[in-house]
Structure 1
């Protein structure tokens, strides 16, 4: 083997790896039972080397992609690759073993050639329900992990003979939607099996070059990321933001970051962030690593999509803090924390003058888990993710109604919502006027109005920016705050906080308005908010 042969194989192998993980992702979504994965895309796929290094990841959900790195490390600590067999499968979701929050189940399948593990095919999917004190397993008032659902350390879920019946029985006994859980796990297994077949075929085609080429691709990603850092100025920059309380207490939860860049390396330090809190907004280190991986990928986006970009990074997450909590912290609502952590890294880096100046995104991915009963007693359940607004930049306005930074989820079509539940979506629109004003306006949030048609339901609501706002940049204005309220059939109105549980009765309307992104640059007064019928309470709320 010569260096020329190695170099000649790098691009074909990179494309083959990327194609394999993207097909894993697409296949998993097609096969998923739950709409949160099938329609919303709340799942991710990746390929790893036997030593736990990420070698390729799907173009899917960054919130889950980065967290697969510590999850795989947790599996390998308990089950070393040398002892794995063909056809085995491993399962976990424990945040203290490399997981994120309990609905995110991670499946790992080894890929073997001549009895030796050459790679690992991995998927993660947000499952509809894994138990806990509230339907959907995202209780906004949880105060410890034990209230959030079934916690799984890394375990062997499948042997060469098939699934472990005992493990499957425990999983289904702890879920309010066992059929969905069973079907969604089957979708994950199908995806890792597809990845194993494609990777096995690729290894046969490349022969002895497979492992060296994978090593070279990881080294290439590191080199390109270090080159991008060397081209940026040295310095130290900070950024602070805050969550609107933790779901239990109204005290703001601080997110503080310091970036220190020297030469071709960068330190990211979250010292100064709040200590861990009682409510479920604590984020495991795996979750925060997802934000860091996203940030590092922005430095050299043309680099191979693997772990090499993390080599120049030193990440400090203070133990016992909201970004590295101790057991038994509640963590199910960590999305807002991770989004603001990602926003903070991007905001701090924007001060370095290393690229295009960008205002902060809204920092919101509203998540609702709804469980109800129809008039005939039939139960239903669904989970929805609602997007917000992107920050404007020196190049132009921010995009409206999009998932930003570590979010890449899709909206659930109205037709799907109305098919799966007795709901009527009376409004689905861009929330005009919610983006920050400026020379370039921030992206607007989203407005949804739902009416429950029959029976009753319970809503677990996880939002953010109900109090705070995404600040503007270079003189631009802040985006609007989020809001949520239940309009009762009797005319009364109940306002929801950033994290809430509320009962829903037939005839009531739920109104969700997500935050806007920050504006960029000074300009005339911001646009006024638009209301189609100000007399309708569904159209009343503060946009500024």
Structure 2
């Protein structure tokens, strides 16, 4: 046992290094800017029974969902059937996936003919078919409109690619070269993870399995210790989505946190029934929000699934957080962000040591495509950040991905190199953060000019109607806004989820929401950024 204790920290650090290098390798090799620049991808290593052992410090929106995805692969392909060089592919939300553009690759880690671990990657692909370029149609009402749905399949057998599967994938994508390039980047990531994890197991020797179990137990113990420091209680929070893309009626996200001793129940009973539009989030998607929240309770704990052991979660079947097939799900990002924000806000009511105002809870996903003047087709997707909520100790951060979001900025130079666009404005949206003693973080303003040809806009935003709430007397954040300013002077206002067409000379304006403030505005302090108050 002492040997295991001595090895725990070196193995923990080695595993974290492996998954972070998997992430970096995948991003360096990716073709699409959303993965290469935006970092909309993630990597992790699992034990053979599907327990999450280590995950990259990358995108929580994707990381938690790898847990049910790996479980879905194992149900179809048990480890005793796996050989070195195998790789399994899937994206089906009812088999453990998220939404259809997120392709998941899982590969066994072998040593002496035995599976000792599993390496997994997930990446948001530019296009996997469906009714709209980018495969995120904001007006979809059925998952079959959103793209190619893939249950777990064997994509590589002993390293050899199944060309029939690749033919099927490319036939359904508007950007087949990008799809294959990004898929190979995922293979590069899992291959690195398999090699390095196998080498770590050899260096660690017979104690490897026991050390991994000990790391999972340590994460559980630290999370339970954190829960025990909080008085028992129950706290609720409600938020709402600005419609579902089809109907403008608010979509309720309700959560109740019931903490007793070293255990916590996370109950989403009271959330709206599943919607016609695509804001539904499958249970595998919801796992990302739940894992992020549980990790936040003991952030110094090993970065594995041990933190989930003290938690029980309730996701009512047929609701927006557990829809039935064939619900549309491509816009589930807004649902996950508000669900995560609701958990953090409920926890802040009675359990957090430092009260927090609400984050904006917005990660605008924008998919733009079209045809150049010479007939060449183009397509790009990017994610735009918003504002963080303030706390009792300081202002909220502006222009940042919060909670389950962690996507990076896509540089203007990359956008203009890949698409016939000129970015007229990229700036902090001053004044959008809530006013208070400590102001909420401001959102972002982006203005795009279409230079040539015709194009389509798939816009997935949030907070056009609702606002991020302030805390302790602080003001709410400003809502989001989006519009197309036509070259002839007309202005078309976009709703929170919208599709539109535009032409050369038109401008697309995106303004994301601000975070809530903390403390009454009358007590606003003088700062270098705010010298007049």
Q: Same fold (TM over 0.5)?
A: yes
Q: For residues 69-102 of structure 1, what are the alpha-carbon distances to aligned partners after superposition, in whole Å with 9 as ceiling and x for unaligned? A: 0000000001111211110000000000010000
Residue in 2 that maps onto 1:334: 332
Residue in 2 that maps onto 1:143: 141
Residue in 2 that maps onto 1:473: 471
Which residue, out of 282, 288, 298, partners 1:284?
Answer: 282
SS in 1 for 2:381: strand
- How do residues 142-541 of structure 1 correspond to structure 2 at under 5 angstroms? 142-524=140-522
Cα distance in 1 between the residues matched to 2:464 and 2:61: 22
Q: Is 1:69–2:67 an aligned residue pair?
A: yes
Cα distance in 2 between the residues matched to 1:14 and 1:308: 13
Report the count of equivalent residues: 525
Cα distance in 1 between the residues matched to 2:87 and 2:447: 42
In structure 1, list runs of 5 or more residues that go unmatched.
528-544
Which residue, out of 29, 32, 35, partners 1:34?
Answer: 32
C-alpha deviation, 1:404, in angstroms: 0.2
C-alpha deviation, 1:161, in angstroms: 4.7
Aligned CA distance change for structure 1 residues 320 and 526 (closer, same or farther; 3 Å):
farther
SS in 1 for 2:48: coil
Cα distance in 1 between the residues matched to 2:337 and 2:242: 13
C-alpha deviation, 1:525, in angstroms: 9.1
Question: Structure 1 stretch 360-369 or stretch 517-526: which is displaced more?
Answer: 517-526
Cα distance in 2 between the residues matched to 1:473 and 1:317: 27
8 Å contact from structure 2 (residues 438, 524) kept in 1: no
C-alpha deviation, 1:356, in angstroms: 1.1
C-alpha deviation, 1:355, in angstroms: 1.9
Q: For residues 338-394 of structure 1, what are the alpha-carbon distances to aligned partners after superposition, in whole Å with 9 as ceiling and x for unaligned? A: 000000000000012332111010010000111111101111100010000000001
Residue in 2 that maps onto 1:539: none
Residue in 1 that maps onto 2:530: none
SS in 2 for 1:171: helix
Cα distance in 2 between the residues matched to 1:18 and 1:372: 41
Cα distance in 2 between the residues matched to 1:405 and 1:151: 28
8 Å contact from structure 1 (residues 437, 525) kept in 2: no
Residue in 2 that maps onto 1:536: none
8 Å contact from structure 2 (residues 274, 321) kept in 1: yes
Aligned CA distance change for structure 1 residues 379 and 525 (closer, same or farther; 3 Å):
farther
Q: For residues 411-431 of structure 1, what are the alpha-carbon distances to aligned partners after superposition, in whole Å with 9 as ceiling and x for unaligned? A: 100000000011110000000
8 Å contact from structure 2 (residues 437, 524) kept in 1: no
SS in 1 for 2:489: coil
In structure 2, list runs of 5 or more residues that go unmatched.
526-533
- How do residues 78-157 of structure 1 correspond to structure 2 at under 5 angstroms? 78-157=76-155
Normalised by the length of structure 1, the TM-score is 0.96
8 Å contact from structure 1 (residues 233, 354) kept in 2: no
8 Å contact from structure 2 (residues 107, 120) kept in 1: yes
C-alpha deviation, 1:524, in angstroms: 2.8
Residue in 2 that maps onto 1:44: 42
Q: For residues 427-458 of structure 1, what are the alpha-carbon distances to aligned partners after superposition, in whole Å with 9 as ceiling and x for unaligned? A: 00000000001110000000001100111100
Cα distance in 1 between the residues matched to 2:287 and 2:127: 25
Cα distance in 2 between the residues matched to 1:268 and 1:251: 25
Cα distance in 1 between the residues matched to 2:438 and 2:288: 29
Which residue, out of 15, 18, 23, partners 1:17?
Answer: 15
Q: Which runs of 4+ in 1 moved over 4 A?
A: none
Cα distance in 2 between the residues matched to 1:460 and 1:437: 32
Cα distance in 2 between the residues matched to 1:315 and 1:154: 25
Aligned CA-pair RMSD:
0.9
SS in 1 for 2:404: coil
Cα distance in 2 between the residues matched to 1:233 and 1:94: 40
Residue in 2 that maps onto 1:533: none
8 Å contact from structure 2 (residues 475, 521) kept in 1: no
SS in 1 for 2:509: strand
8 Å contact from structure 2 (residues 357, 389) kept in 1: yes
C-alpha deviation, 1:495, in angstroms: 0.1
Cα distance in 2 between the residues matched to 1:146 and 1:221: 39
SS in 2 for 1:404: coil
Cα distance in 1 between the residues matched to 2:372 and 2:494: 24
Residue in 2 that maps onto 1:57: 55
